[in-house]
Amino acid sequence: MGLHSLTFVTALTLSGLLTGVARRVAWRIDLLDRPDSQRKLHKRATPLMGGVAVYVTVLTASVAIWFVGRGHLDLDATSARLAGMLLLSGGLLCAIGLWDDKWGLRARHKFLLQIASTLPFVLWGRTISTVALFGVSVDVAWIGIPFTVFWLVSCTNIVNLMDGLDGLASSVSLIACLTVAVLAQLNGLVPVSILALVLAGSLAGFLLHNWPPAQIFLGDSGSQPIGFFVGALALEASVKRATGFMLFVPLVLLSVPIFDTCMAILRRKLNGQTIGQADRAHIHHCLRDRGLTTRQTLFAIGGLSAVMAIASIAAALRNDERIAIGICAIVLAVLVTGRVFGYQEALLLWRHVLTFTRWLRSAPAHLESQFVLLRLQSRRDQPAGEIWLRVVEASRRSHAESVILTQSQPAGARETTLRDWHDDARDDFTDPLPAGDRWQLRLVYRMADRTSLSLEIMGRGPTDQQAQHVETVVQLFSALCRQEIEEPAASESTAEPRILPVHWPRSNGATSDAA
């Protein structure tokens, strides 16, 4: 354990020194993150080269350990190649992030470069071939490479998205690295444990400068390689020779940032935004909006990460992943049900599911109505009375209480009711009218000679259910109007008619004009 402690302290000291140098260099080359009063709410311009200092520390300390401690670590060629590919991929991601910090990259190009950067480690380092969960091992050799790339790129972006608060990404990653070091040591993977301690010490040294109020930020040059290192080392620490990749370990260990990222993707997609569009609805934003200070928010999220770390270690010691998964599920459920974070996203998802379910239930009736319309188009001699019954039937599906067809003559003549239907006894219904606001829909069929037919439908219930049947009602009304006009006086007007939706329901029962 002496080598482990020496590794951590050495990396911490070197990182602290190099971060101070990076601060001065960043000011000289104008690599700064300036506040914009929208998302970047820090008070002054802050250097962005913290990630470079962390990566250089990891690289320098790893090379030093190779020459100084290889006799104690019993490193073989495989371990050396794995460490080399790990540092190579991390260096590529650091370079990509540095370019993005200085000149910017489009999200698509950045994503493709991230995939390319992970390939050295995946192709010549480690590829997942077997996944174990609940004691069952599954051979995934045929998707091992894409699965590993997906995991590493996901971790890269997860930590990147978490880097929105002073000290947050570095603190969460520090806890994860210390946990990985313990898990690797329990599995007898000493080289992995040492590499995890190198990264942990580098983050601890950087955190001395990044603690609120931060004097330097990681930038993409730091959050990207750190996310990759954490994902890769968690992968290495979770591999057992007998069972393969233990899936629960990295998932539970990184469950807080993973949950935050999943909610961000869900929120943006359901709100019609792009996934890469930034917002202020991450977990640290939600905690700040509840009145917590920056440090209190940092301690709160760090505490959640620590709970997940302890759960992972306990599951590893007991060799029972159900412990970690159970604790993780309870903590995340408390966050959602307590409306701390994720409640709005869960509610939004539930509403989309309900809307989709209602659409599925109404789809057969809508399809039947479309078939009726096809038959109407093929049969020009369909009596107006039969079409009227179809209009009433479609309206009843929207929980209408009355349907009235009126005719208006030009010069302000009084309207004449041609057909009407009122649901007085509701004898034809097997279910009661649903509770809800009253609504009104009015359609006008206007001829060139200023004669018009109007269809007025009134009912009660949620307006989102009526919208599912509007298209069918409009098309049936068009067919009905043609027959009503052609049957009594086929030669009076042959101008092409127009259908004008005049009224649409509001939630308070009032009506409004629609263009």
CA distances, 257 to each of 58, 154, 155, 163, 308 (Å): 23, 11, 9, 10, 11
DSSP letter (8 states) at residue 93: H
Give the pLDDT confidence of 363-387 residue by residue, as tens digits. 776 676 667 666 666 665 667 777 8
Domains, the chain, ordered by start: 2-250 (no CATH), 351-423+433-513 (3.30.450)
Residues 6+ apart with CB under 8 A from 174: 200, 203, 204, 207
Look-up of token digits 């493709």: 112
Residue 335 CA neighbour count, 13 Å, CB half: 23
Tell me what the mean pLDDT of segment 257-279 comes to.
Answer: 87
Encode pLDDT of 241-263 as tens digits: 444 566 777 889 999 999 999 99
Return the residue matching tokens 């009304």: 477
What are the structure tokens assigned to 12, written together? 């911490």
The one-letter amino acid at 483: Q
In this structure, are residues 12 and 170 in contact, taking their beta carbons and an 8 Å threshold? no
106: three-class secondary structure by DSSP: coil
The beta strands (E) that lie in 121-197 are given as 130-133, 136-139
The number of helices, as runs of H, and strands, as runs of E, in the chain is: 17, 12
Cross-strand pairs, 511: 505
Structure tokens at 429: 């219904």
The pLDDT value recorded for residue 216 is 94
What number is the average pLDDT over the span 222-247? 80
Q: Is the pLDDT of residue 472 over 50?
A: yes
Q: Is the pLDDT assigned to residue 301 strictly greater than 60? A: yes
Which tens digits make up the pLDDT trace of 340-361?
Answer: 999 999 999 998 898 888 778 7
Least confident of 64-68, 119-123, 239-243, 507-511: 507-511
Identify whether the C-beta of residue 291 lies closer than 8 Å to the C-beta of residue 308. Answer: no
Contact 90, 98 (CB under 8 A): no
SS3 at position 295: helix
Task: Look at residue 399 in the predicted model and tell me its pLDDT.
Answer: 78
CA nearest to 46, candidates 57, 64, 30: 30
Whether pLDDT at 509 is above 50:
no
Determine how β-strand 130-133 pairs with β-strand 244-246. parallel
